[in-house]
Amino acid sequence: MYKSFKIVKVDSKYCDYLRQYDNKVSYNAGTKDLRPFIGVLFMIDKCEYFAPLSSPKPKHSKLKNTLDLIKIENGTYGVVNFNNMIPVMDKNYVIFDLNKKTENRAENFRLELLRNQLRWLTANKKDVNTKSKLLYNLYKSNKLPKNVKDRCCNFPLLEEKCREYNK
C-alpha cells in the first residue's frame, strides 16, 4: 500500500545544509516562493523521500520520461525530478495549503497548477512510486548508467546528513 502524496515546502535552511555535502540538491529559496516538492515517495530508515517539482516549460513537451524524470500530464503540468529527490523528516517541511483563497491572480494560477500536479501524480501513484524506488535502488546497487548517476543526488550520504541534522 502506498502512502498519500502531499505537496510540501521543504525548509530552505535544511536544503542549504544538504547542499554543503551534495551540490545536486535543488535550491529552495530566493525571490520566488519555496520550490514545491512531492512527497511521500517512499521511506528509508525513518526518512521520507521527496522529489522537487518543476513547473511547465516548453522543453518538457519534447522530453521523454526517463529513469530519473517523469512528465506530469505529458509535460503540461511540469515534471518530477527524481534525480534530485532528498530524504526529509517531518520537521523539515510544511504542507502547502492548496485550498488557500487569495485575490492574487498569479498565486491562484500557481495553486491551481499544484492541485493539477497532485491530481495527476495521485492518479499515477503506482508508477511514480515504482520509478522513484527503482532509481534509488539502482543508484545504491551501482547499476545506473554513468550519465544518470552523475545527475543524481548521493542518496545514502544525504540520508546520513538528514539524520545528523534532525538529531
- pTM > 0.95: yes or no: no
Show the 3-state SS of 129-166: HHHHHHHHHHHHCCCCCHHHHCCCCCHHHHHHHHHHHC
Whole-angstrom distance between the N-terminal and C-terminal Cα of the chain?
29
Phi and psi for 46 in degrees, rounded to 5? 70, 5
> Which residues, in sequence order, are bridge partners of residue 44?
47
pLDDT digit string, tens, across residues 51-93: 999 889 999 888 999 999 999 999 999 999 999 999 999 999 9
Do the domain assignments include residue 1?
no
Q: Which domain holds residue 18?
A: 6-165
- Residue 75 maps to which CATH number? 3.10.129.130
Do the domain assignments include residue 80?
yes
- Residue 31's pLDDT band (cuts 50, 70, 90): very low
pLDDT digit string, tens, across residues 94-127: 888 888 888 888 888 888 999 999 999 999 999 9
Q: Are strands 6-10 and 36-44 parallel, antiparallel or unpaired?
A: antiparallel
Please state the domain count of the chain.
1
